[in-house]
Structure 1
């Protein structure tokens, strides 16, 4: 990015104050929060096999400034709409957004300009988007989501709060109980599952609407957190749920794919890989991620993800991260108390424990047990059985996808499985506790 481009980026960052003064009126966007580190030797979220990439990152001053800017960036359009809590009730904002998604913003009586801006931004399909490719990516990903997804939702969700700087918004807004943790896991799973249904990301598809609701939820969290200066210190934590913190959830699959490709010496995606990348990028676009953060080459994807991890100061504290971890592990994700539901949860919980120990604890079972995840021999056996079951089913569906006639039957079956999962997850709320929201006065402008 040129110097002019960098200057333009920082202008957009600081413009958040004017666009959503109730939220950002007292924020100094030029500070370097404690969470952001460009100091050699500091422990960061970039660890393991990726840690060697940090030296190259620290030598790139332009990239460091780029990531710092997006560390201080929320979601301008959604934040402006969420700031209307001074004038509208929480429920009214949700209902107007739902109506705009279902029937078009032009059919929302007296739609505020902020709602119009949010919907129009989401409707602006970028030139690079190929919706046929997006649909192909969704079709490919349905196999994994239907067969592997139900076993990984708990374990994958844990990744979002293993760092205290990124996890604190959830702790502040009431995600520390097993009940609220269960709801949040299901809401997250609902969004990604919904986005894989046929036509879901089209303008009036359910994925489009779900993305809009997620954006409003994130902005509600920002508004809620920023009005608690005693609990949220911008000089330490930066902006709640900044754009860089939304990259891992939306891009982790294509990051791992890209990293593997680079290790193999490949520079070009295959047609199927390109479809998966297109799906991930467009889904993230609808979630509000700036196109600057949506690289389209293997190296570009790896560089951006490593830049985020390599500047996020490592930090785990038991009061925040540990409580979230234990609440999620203890959460009851069953849709009912049937034998089928109880059996699935037994295997799913064991699989989640194994996934956590391998992915976040370096396979150190004693360390995991010390923070509340006790992986026993029985869990490993159950996870192994689940793994064999998952692998066999995914292989069968993958084979069917290459056989004319069976391809359509298999895909219809996968769609049916995804719809059944959505029914089990229940109605997604995509909000934090509404009782915590109250109209807030417009703060004085920052000096």
Structure 2
């Protein structure tokens, strides 16, 4: 048997890829900074980079340049997508690392009630909406029930990165309501990733009783392995990397663990990011892991890989596809259901847990922000063959608009919520810690997503 060497990437394909990455990243960083100056999440600018360079603008203003720079060929787009997938796996892994499970345990049953209401109502409304949406918003050949469940999941998630940064910037992170928003959003996101993985399995194997049971069994196996063998492996690997004293080894070890975990969940016909999310949680639980040693990873993902992924996601948005009155009206319906469902669910959860109406309104405003999580879910929907260009564009716009809505609505509600003595004490401690941290090192500024 004669073996032949596989040819490397063609010179022209490499040139196009380098230009794509360079232009997308440059535009995403510039527009991301502009968005932050306008007091908006960075993701707004980063997605806009893809919108400007994609079918919404460049393809119409300079069609020859647009088709040369971003050709509609599977091979070329897969090259760009592979870089984006690498970034999103690490981004979701970092989201898992930043979850504060101690805070979840402290809030207990009260937070569970708020999370359940903020999850179940938008999930139910989203599933109902999914069945009502016209066939032109669902990809040809996709299962109507799987599509409807997917829409429900997209409606019920929150975005912890956006929420945490918003609360920090508004100096609400120490407030009781700020803590509750973080906890409820954390639980909702964790459940959301489980549901996304279940949908992935359904879309892959079909929606029959045997396949659904098999998907649930695979999901249970992954969770059990993560909490047992995975916990031991991650702890041993991170402990060895930390104690080695080799500069950068903890970062490399964390990246390897995240990618292999993503590969494991993908092999189980679940979503790759679900494995990365679980691994991120396990890494955060390692006592030997010093968060400062993983700061280079946080910086690289936050300033390079994440903006590139969101710019790539923006390339798939076609705003001209939303110009049709029927599509535009359905887009408004999706946005209304997304906002009302999350707001009303969180508001009712807050009221049932003993909060007053302004505290409950603030809870709804904070949890309504979807940001990065919903964009990732939208990309997954495209990859699973569930979404048309129109529906994808609608879901991404919902993610952007709800993230932009959060700060002013939070400010409006929190201006009517009185400070407590405990909150004042907690604020003093936070300021003291920030002062100590500032005297030791310069802060690293990552934009909200």
TM-score by length of 1: 0.29
Determine which structure has the larger helix proportion and give its number: 2
TM-score by length of 2: 0.29
